[in-house]
Structure 1
Amino acid sequence: MRRLFPVTDQTSAAGDREDREWSLDELAEAYAYPGGEAVWLRANMVSSLDGAAQHDGRSQAISSDADMRIFGTLRGLADAVVVGAQTVRTEGYRPARAREAFAARRAAAGQGPAPAIAVVSASLDLDFSLPLFTGPLVPTLVLTGAAAPPERVAAAQRAGAEVVVAGDGPGVDPRQAVRELAGRGLVRLLTEGGPRLLGQFAAAGVLDELCLTVSPAMTAGEAQRIAWGPALADPSRFALASVLEDAGFLFTRYRRAPGPSA
C-alpha cells in the first residue's frame, strides 16, 4: 500500500509511498476520527470504475483484501455502525466483534470492546432470531419511526435489541437518527450503506466524510450507485483528504467542504 496524497517531505521520508502492507496501527492513525466531542458521520463504500456499488447484489466481488483491512479498521474506530435493513438482509450482517488489535485504542478513547450495530428500518421486517440481534457483544440498536408496527417493535425488544425512535412517521429522519445516537454517547459514527441510506444521509446534510474505495473493475449491468434517492437541489461539495493505493485499488477519503453547498 502506498500513500499518494497528501505527500510531504516528512511522509516521504517515513516510507509512506513505498508499496508495502500497512499495519493496523498505521491504518488506524490514517483514519482516526477528528478530535473533540462533536458527532462525526463517515461512510465507507466501494465502487467499480463504472460506478457500480455491487455486483450480483453484493459488494464482495469488487472488494479486495486491502479493502477489507480498511473496512475492519473503520469498524475498529467507530462507536456505532449504521446500516440499512436491506443491506443487513443482503450482506448477512453479523454482530461486530472485539479485536485485540484495537482493544487498547478503544479503551483509551473510552469506547466499549466493539461498535454497536444500528439498523435503520421503517417496517422492522427483519429476522430477529439472527445472531445480530440475539448474540451481539454490544446490544444491537434498531432505528425506526414512531409509526413502526407495534408487533415488530415488540419482537425486536424480545430478541434483545434496543429500539430507538428517530422519526415522527413510519420512517427514520436522518438528522434525528444522528442526534439519538449522539445522545447515547455514540459520536464516532460509520455507515456502510446501502445506497438508499447513504442517499438519505447525504440529502439531509449530515454526512461529514466519505471513504470511497475505487475498484479497478468494470461491471456494467444495472447495479446501484453508492448513493441512491431523490437528487439534491445543489451538489454537496467534499474536499479530498487522502488517497492510498494498493494493487490498483484507490482508497480515497473526502471530507465535507465548508460553505453553503456543504
Structure 2
Amino acid sequence: MSVGIPIDRIWPAATSEPLDDAALTALYGRAEQPHLRVNFVSSLDGAVALGGYSAGLSGEPDKRVFGLLRMLCDALVVAAGTLRHEGYRALRLDERRRAWRREQGLPEYPTLVVVSGGLDLDPTQPVFADAPVRPVVLTRADAVPPAGLAEVADLVRCGADRVDLAAGLAELRRRGLDQLLCEGGPQLFGALTGADLVDELCLTVAPLLAGPGPGRITAGETSPPRSLALRHVLAAGDGVLMLRYARD
C-alpha cells in the first residue's frame, strides 16, 4: 500500500513504480544477526533541528519510513533528553503494523529503551504510564530513581560514572531484543559511534538550508572515523533523499 507523496528508489537500481509499504519493508528489513540501526533527519547543511525540533525537518515520506522502522525493530532506544524535549508518547503502532509483527512471530509492540545517566524522568509521563510494553531504562550504578519509576519500568544498571552502552546493549540482547532502532539524540549517537556499536545509519536529508545555529546529528567526545557502505538511495517527490548506510 502506497499513500501520499510517492517514494522511489533511485540507486542501486531505479524503480519504475513508487515503492509501497511492502517494498519499503523489504528494502529496510530485519538483519540476520544482532543489529543497531540509527535513524536521523538533517537539513542540507547538516542541522539536526529546525526551530529547536527535528519535526521541523521531517515531512510525510520521512514519517512514513520512520513508522516502518519502528515496526521492524525489537526495541526503540532513545536518550532521556530527547524523550523529554521531543515529547515522546507511549510507543504504539496501528493495527496494520501490529498485524505484520504478529505474522512475523514478533510481539505486537517494540520495547521502549531509555538511556538516562541521572534518571531525571517522570514516571507519570504517558511514555511510561501508558506504555503497552514495560519500558527499560539503562542507567549508571549510583543513579537514584524518582519515586514510582521502578513500578513502570525495568532499571538496568550498567557502568559506574556513566552508562556503559556496550553492557546495556548486551543486556537488551540477553532479553531477546536483537534488532535495535536508535532515534537519538546527538549525544547518544556520538557515544554509540565512539563505542563502535552502530551497524547502520538511515539518514533523511531535507531539501532546505537551516543556516547557522543548530547542532549536527552527532555530538560528544571525538572518536575514530567509522566506515559504512551505501545500501540504497530513495527519493520523494518533494526533493527529500533517504539514504541507508550499513557495515559491510
TM range (shorter): over 0.9
Contact 2:31 / 2:179 at 8 angstroms: preserved in 1?
A: no
What's the counterpart of residue 260 of structure 1?
Answer: none
Look up the match of 2:37. 42
TM-score between the two structures when normalised by the length of structure 1: 0.88
Deviation by residue 1:180-227 (Cα, 9 ceiling, x = unmatched): 110110001000000000001111001000000011011113211111
Q: Aligned equivalents of 2:105 and 2:161: distance in 1?
A: 34
| Aligned AA (2:168) | A
For residues 98-121 of structure 1, the C-alpha deviation after alignment (integer angstroms, 9 at most, x for no partner) is: 322223431233321111110100
Whole-Å separation in 1 of the counterparts to 2:162 and 2:12: 40
Aligned-partner residue type, residue 196 of structure 1 = Q
* Alpha-carbon distance in structure 2 between the residues aligned to 1:213 and 1:100: 26
Q: How far 1:238 sits from its partner (Å)?
A: 0.6
- 1:106 is paired with a residue whose SS is helix
Shift of 1:140: 1.2
The secondary structure found in structure 2 opposite 1:51 is coil
CA RMSD between the two structures? 1.4
Cα distance in 2 between the residues matched to 1:148 and 1:203: 23
Q: Determine the C-alpha separation between the residues in 1 that align with 2:31 and 2:56.
A: 31
Alignment TM-score, normalising by the size of structure 2: 0.93
- Whichever residue aligns with residue 196 of structure 2, its letter is G
What's 2:3 paired with? Answer: none
One of 71, 78, 86 as aligned partner of 1:76: 71
Deviation at 1:17, TM superposition (A): 4.0
Q: Secondary structure at the match of 1:231?
A: coil
Corresponding residue for 2:57? 62
3-state secondary structure, aligned to 2:201: strand
- Rate the CA distance shift 1:166–1:109 in 2: closer, same or farther, 3 A: farther
Among 93, 111, 114, the residue aligned to 1:116: 111
Q: Structure 1 CA distance, aligned partners of 2:217 and 2:181?
A: 15
Does the 8 A contact of 1:145 with 1:170 survive in 2? yes
What letter is aligned with 1:141? V
Q: Which residue of 1 aligns with 2:125?
A: 130
> What amino acid is aligned across from residue 58 of structure 1 in structure 2?
Y
Match of 2:149 in 1: 156
Match of 2:229 in 1: 239
Between the two proteins, the alignment pairs up a number of residues equal to 241
1:132-175 alpha-carbon deviations (Å, 9 max, x no partner): 111111111111011111x43x53113x11111222x1421111
> Is this contact kept in 2: 1:143–1:165, CA < 8 A?
yes
Distance 1:59 1:74 in 2: 17
* Aligned with 1:3 (options 5, 9, 13): 9
Q: 1:245 is matched by which residue type in structure 2?
A: A
Residue of structure 1 equivalent to 2:157? 165
SS at match of 1:81: strand
